[in-house]
């Protein structure tokens, strides 16, 4: 998955929204919702730009955000000038996102903004990169050699090697040399068996640490980041241990490096490079062009080189409504096929049945692909989360262990993208407000390193995502004070902890005492809550002072694939999620109902059972032999009695709407292969 591409698409969407906001705002300068929206859009752009190293975008968005912050706080009035400014910024931002050089224009605009704001000190602070604007080193590129020797089990560890390389390529200009390519690289990938060693020459503005960050998930012995300061570094111990370079190879590398980074010095160290004059710049640009030409001529058979451009995965973003439509049509197709079969019944020729079978297989494959397109495991977010945690904890001087669990839980694609912003926000909050500084933690007899847990699981008809920290916990006194300050409650007004949590999640509430890049300002829990509510989820908080907090997001399953057991009760079929089935066996009806106590003996334990025939008030005679199914859901066991197990089925969960919700012994329904429907049992609700 190409995050950068996704990010670009996302920002473009947000910029469109921002433009629309401006159009509405133009009609009513006092529209608080549009001002809020504009502020939020800019905030989102700023936040994600930082993560993708679009520092100029980050800076501009930040400056503009200040204006809307002023307007929101009532320190300024929106007017045509502000709108013009914003629209101009939209154009510049979209150019920058497209990779065009708009730095000069951006800087001009930023100075306009600062003039407009004319707040003392502010102009200077942000003009020079500022404390928040993502300071960027002006001095040139650093050069690294990155040598990657993945272990055999890298795919088993769930690592997407391609995306790691991709990420590395995105740090700057790169050249890759593949060693020991006895099997073509593509084939190695396809067979999930990497045998080669990968040598990447990289020229980047990022630090060594940033480069190492790419390999967060790899083991330390699998990669080596070697800073290249002079030619001598090619033969240092680190390099030599992994790759031996002959004279010819050395020359070639020098050429490559020069092409990537014209500043690369043969002898001098980077520190010695002094500011260059315009003439030098021009000369270097020429050299760059020359180097590129040379590179094109430079072909080698033993070492295959790859350029990053060719590696861009081609993806198309599709409106989810179109996907929905496709899934529904495919479901209908399955139904139609069985209708067709039915029509032919009796006078079928062998060649027709053969063709039908072929069609069935194709339809099933089509169905599977259609379903799969929509599902994405949560771990597509892991890298983002991990990087965020690294950078934020460093910035705040906090130490934290990040543990994830259940990242393979699959969610609808639309949910994953909708979840990203709130999840990042919650994590940022946990680091900023939750986890204490190492010193304070020691004082509290906690380990210096904080613990941040991120886990996800399916339970019944919901997916749960929890973010747990072992930090401060919520400070209700502080929340209360803030709420009073903001005029949300009166001074002496009683408010329960639950009330206070709700206040905390209301618009305009933020306990951050100071404006920080980390938690932002004002864009708070209300937005998180709103974002989650938009995908029909809800957010709960449980907290214990000085012990930590757990934020639980509960999401409906909507389009989720379930493995189910199909059971018959009288003339109807019902589905039980296989994950909930612990054991099943048959038993004579008479034997089962012999005793009044209505219990089954399971593993030496007596358990009460629920007969679905009875529960559903079916009057027909039960079969002689019935089936007992022991269900175990979250360690709660229940025994149910059905007629017979009819089979297994992988199926798509369909929610039941409001009208059917009173039948809470069902969590949803599914469409069976023949087009008929079956209800999914929510066994725990059978208990009473």
Partner 1 sequence: MASAKSYLLFTLNSESFGIEVEFVLRVIDLEGLMKVPKAPDFISGALNMEGTVIPVVDLAKKIDLGVTEVNDKTKVVILQILHEDETLDVGVLIDNVKDVVNITDKELQAPPLENMGFDTQTLDGMYKLEENFYMILSAKKVFEKELMQMV
Tokens of 558: 């909507």
Determine, following the binding rule CB under 8 A, whether residue 619 of this chain makes contact with partner 1: no
Retrieve residue 387's tokens. Answer: 């990087």
* Number of residues in contact with partner 1 under rule CB under 8 A: 31
DSSP string, 274-296: PPPPHHHHHHHHHHHHHHHHHHH
Side-chain-facing half-sphere of 545: CA atoms under 13 Å: 6
Q: Quick one: 219 or 328, whose CB is closer to partner 1?
A: 328
Shortest distance (Å) from residue 621 CB to partner 1: 18
Nearer to partner 1, 320 or 516 (CB): 320
Following DSSP, what letter does each residue of 26-70 receive, concatenated? Answer: HH-TT-HHHHHHHHHHHHHHHHHHHHTT-HHHHHHHHHHHHHHHH
The reply on whether position 102 binds partner 1 by CB under 8 A is: no
Stretch that binds partner 1, among 276-284, 443-451, 627-635, 665-673 (CB under 8 A): 665-673
Question: Please, which residue, 62 or 413, has the CB nearer to partner 1?
Answer: 413
Contacts to partner 1 from residues 311-330, by CB under 8 A: 327-329
Q: Say if residues 223 and 184 touch (Cβ distance below 8 Å).
A: no
The span from the CA of 539 to the CA of 422, in Å, is: 10
Supply 197's token pair. Answer: 């060693």
Distance of alpha carbon 82 from alpha carbon 72, whole angstroms: 13
* Among 254, 206, 246, residue whose Cα is nearest residue 230: 254
Query: What is the smallest separation between the CB atom of 616 and partner 1, expressed in angstroms?
Result: 4
Distance CA 85, CA 390 (A): 35
415 binds partner 1 (CB under 8 A): no
- Rounded to a whole number of angstroms, the minimum distance from the CB of residue 415 to partner 1 is 17
Q: Which is nearer to partner 1, 335 or 440 (CB)?
A: 335
CB-neighbour burial class of residue 653 (10 A; exposed 0-12, middle 13-18, buried 19+): buried
Buried b / exposed e across 226-250, counting CB within 10 Å, b at 16+? bebbebeebeeeebeebbeeeeebe
Q: Is residue 368 part of the contact set for partner 1 (CB under 8 A)?
A: no
292 makes contact with partner 1 (CB under 8 A): no
Among residues 398, 666, 683, 684, which is the contact residue for partner 1, using CB under 8 A?
A: 666
The yes or no reply on residue 665 touching partner 1 (CB under 8 A) is yes
CB 341 within 8 A of CB 325: no
Side-chain-side CA neighbours of residue 661 (13 Å): 4
Q: What is the DSSP string of 303-328?
A: SEEE-GGGGPPP-----HHHHHHHHH
Site map 575..614 versus partner 1, x via CB under 8 A: ----------------------------------------
Question: In a 10 Å sphere around its CB, with 0-12 CB exposed, 13-18 middle and 19+ buried, how is residue 40 labelled?
Answer: buried
Site membership for partner 1, residue 678 (CB under 8 A): yes
Query: Considering beta carbons, is residue 351 or 617 the nearer one to partner 1?
Result: 617
* Cβ at position 657, least distance to partner 1 in Å: 6
**Please, what is the minimum distance in Å from the beta carbon of residue 626 to partner 1?**
17
**Residue 677 contacts partner 1 per CB under 8 A:** yes
We find the least distance from the C-beta atom of residue 16 to partner 1, in angstroms, to be: 22
Buried b (16+ CB within 10 A) or exposed e, 96-115: bbeeeebeebbeebbebbbe
662 is a site residue for partner 1 (CB under 8 A): yes
572 contacts partner 1 (rule: CB under 8 A): yes
Specify the residue, 22 or 575, whose C-beta has the smaller distance to partner 1: 575
Choose among 112, 139, 140: nearest CA to 126: 112
Which range in 36-44, 102-110, 148-156, 667-675 contacts partner 1 by CB under 8 A? 667-675
Nearer to partner 1 by C-beta: 623 or 675? Answer: 675
- Which is closer to partner 1, CB of 333 or CB of 505? 333
Q: Is 657 in the site for partner 1 (CB under 8 A)?
A: yes
Who contacts 460 (Cβ-Cβ below 8 Å, separation ≥6)? 633, 667, 682, 684
Judged by CB under 8 A, which of 119, 353, 676, 687 binds partner 1? Answer: 676
Burial string for 300-321 (b: 16+ CB within 10 Å, else e) reads: eeeeeebebeeeeeeeeeeebe
Q: Which of 617, 620, 621, 635 binds partner 1 (CB under 8 A)?
A: 617
What is the sign, positive or negative, of the torsion defined by CA atoms of 104, 105, 106, 112? positive
The separation between the first and the last C-alpha atoms of the chain, rounded to the nearest angstrom, is 47
The nearest distance, CB 581 to partner 1, in angstroms, is 20
Pick 127 or 655: Cβ nearer partner 1: 655
Name which of 243 and 618 has its Cβ closer to partner 1: 618
Q: Does 679 bind partner 1 (CB under 8 A)?
A: yes
Six-digit token string for 330: 């495919």
CB of 410 to partner 1, least distance (A): 19
In the numeric block, the tokens 């604007």 are attached to 133
For partner 1, the closer of residues 583 and 615 by Cβ is 615
> Of 49 and 672, which CB lies nearer to partner 1 in the complex structure?
672
| Interacting residue with partner 1 among 656, 667, 684, 687 (CB under 8 A) | 656
Q: Name the one range near partner 1 by CB under 8 A: 157-165, 237-245, 629-637, 653-661.
A: 653-661
Three-class HEC string of 531-570: HHHHCCCEEEEEEECCCEEEEEEEEECCCCEEEEEEEEEC
Using CB under 8 A, which of 282, 332, 368, 546 touches partner 1? 332
Q: Footprint of partner 1 on residues 494-553 (CB under 8 A)?
A: none
Cβ proximity to partner 1, 644 vs 671, nearer residue: 671
Site for partner 1, rule CB under 8 A: 327-329, 331-332, 335, 572, 615-617, 654-666, 668-669, 671, 675-679
């Amino acid at each position: 998955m190409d995050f950068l591409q996704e990010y670009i698409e996302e920002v473009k969407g947000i910029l469109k929204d921002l433009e629309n906001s401006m159009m509405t705002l133009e009609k009513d300068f006092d529209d608080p919702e549009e001002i809020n929206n504009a502020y939020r859009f800019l905030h989102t752009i700023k936040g994600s730009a930082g993560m993708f190293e679009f520092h100029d975008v980050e800076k501009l968005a930040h400056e503009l955000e200040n204006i809307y912050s002023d307007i929101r706080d009532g320190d300024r009035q929106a007017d045509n000038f502000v709108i013009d400014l914003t629209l101009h910024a939209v154009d510049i931002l979209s150019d920058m996102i497209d990779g065009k050089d708009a730095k000069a224009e951006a800087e001009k605009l930023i100075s306009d903004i600062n003039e407009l704001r004319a707040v003392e000190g502010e102009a200077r602070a942000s003009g020079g990169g500022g404390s928040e604007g993502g300071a960027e080193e002006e001095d040139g590129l650093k050069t690294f050699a990155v040598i990657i020797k993945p272990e055999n089990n890298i795919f088993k560890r769930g690592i997407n090697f391609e995306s790691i390389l991709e990420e590395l390529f995105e740090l700057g200009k790169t050249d890759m040399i593949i060693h020991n390519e006895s099997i073509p690289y593509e084939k190695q990938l396809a067979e999930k068996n990497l045998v080669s060693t990968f040598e990447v020459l990289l020229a980047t503005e990022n630090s060594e640490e940033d480069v190492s960050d790419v390999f967060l998930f790899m083991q330390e012995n699998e990669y080596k980041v070697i800073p290249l300061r002079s030619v001598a570094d090619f033969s240092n111990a680190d390099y030599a241990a992994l790759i031996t370079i002959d004279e010819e190879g050395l020359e070639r590398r020098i050429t490559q490096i020069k092409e990537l980074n014209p500043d690369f010095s043969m002898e001098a160290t980077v520190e010695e490079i002094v500011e260059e004059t315009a003439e030098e710049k021009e000369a270097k640009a020429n050299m760059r062009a020359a180097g590129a030409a040379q590179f094109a001529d430079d072909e080698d058979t033993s070492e295959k080189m790859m350029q990053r451009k060719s590696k861009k995965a081609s993806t198309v973003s599709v409106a989810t409504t179109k996907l929905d439509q496709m899934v529904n049509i495919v479901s209908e197709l399955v139904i139609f096929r069985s209708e067709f079969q039915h029509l032919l019944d009796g006078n079928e020729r062998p060649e027709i049945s053969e063709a039908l079978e072929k069609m069935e297989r194709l339809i099933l494959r089509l169905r599977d692909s259609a379903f799969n397109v929509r599902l994405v495991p949560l771990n597509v977010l892991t890298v983002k989360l991990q990087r965020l945690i690294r950078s934020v904890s460093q910035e705040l001087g906090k130490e934290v262990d990040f543990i994830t669990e259940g990242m393979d839980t699959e969610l609808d694609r639309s949910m994953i993208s909708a979840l990203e912003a709130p999840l990042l926000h919650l994590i940022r909050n946990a680091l900023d407000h939750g986890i204490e500084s190492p010193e304070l933690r020691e004082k509290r007899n906690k380990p210096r390193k904080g613990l941040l847990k991120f886990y996800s699981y399916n339970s019944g008809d919901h997916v749960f995502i929890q973010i747990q920290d072992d930090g401060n916990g919520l400070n209700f006194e502080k929340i209360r004070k803030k709420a009073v300050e903001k005029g949300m409650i009166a001074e002496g007004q009683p408010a329960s902890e639950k009330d206070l949590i709700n206040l905390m999640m209301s618009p305009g509430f933020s306990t951050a005492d100071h404006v920080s890049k980390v938690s932002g300002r004002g864009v708070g829990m209300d937005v998180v809550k709103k974002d989650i509510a938009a995908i029909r989820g809800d957010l709960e908080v449980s907290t214990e002072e000085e012990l930590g907090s757990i934020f639980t997001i509960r999401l409906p399953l909507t389009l989720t694939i379930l493995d189910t057991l199909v059971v018959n009760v009288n003339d109807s079929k019902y589905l039980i999620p296989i994950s909930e089935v612990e054991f099943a066996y048959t038993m004579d009806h008479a034997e089962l109902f012999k005793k009044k106590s209505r219990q089954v003996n399971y593993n030496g334990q007596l358990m009460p059972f629920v007969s679905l025939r009875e529960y559903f008030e079916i009057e027909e005679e039960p079969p002689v032999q019935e089936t007992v199914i022991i269900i175990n859901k979250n360690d709660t066991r229940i025994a149910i009695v059905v007629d017979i197990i009819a089979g297994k089925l992988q199926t798509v969960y369909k929610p039941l709407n409001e009208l059917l919700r009173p039948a809470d012994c069902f969590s949803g329904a599914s469409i069976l292969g023949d087009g008929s429907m079956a209800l999914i049992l929510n066994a725990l609700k059978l208990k009473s």
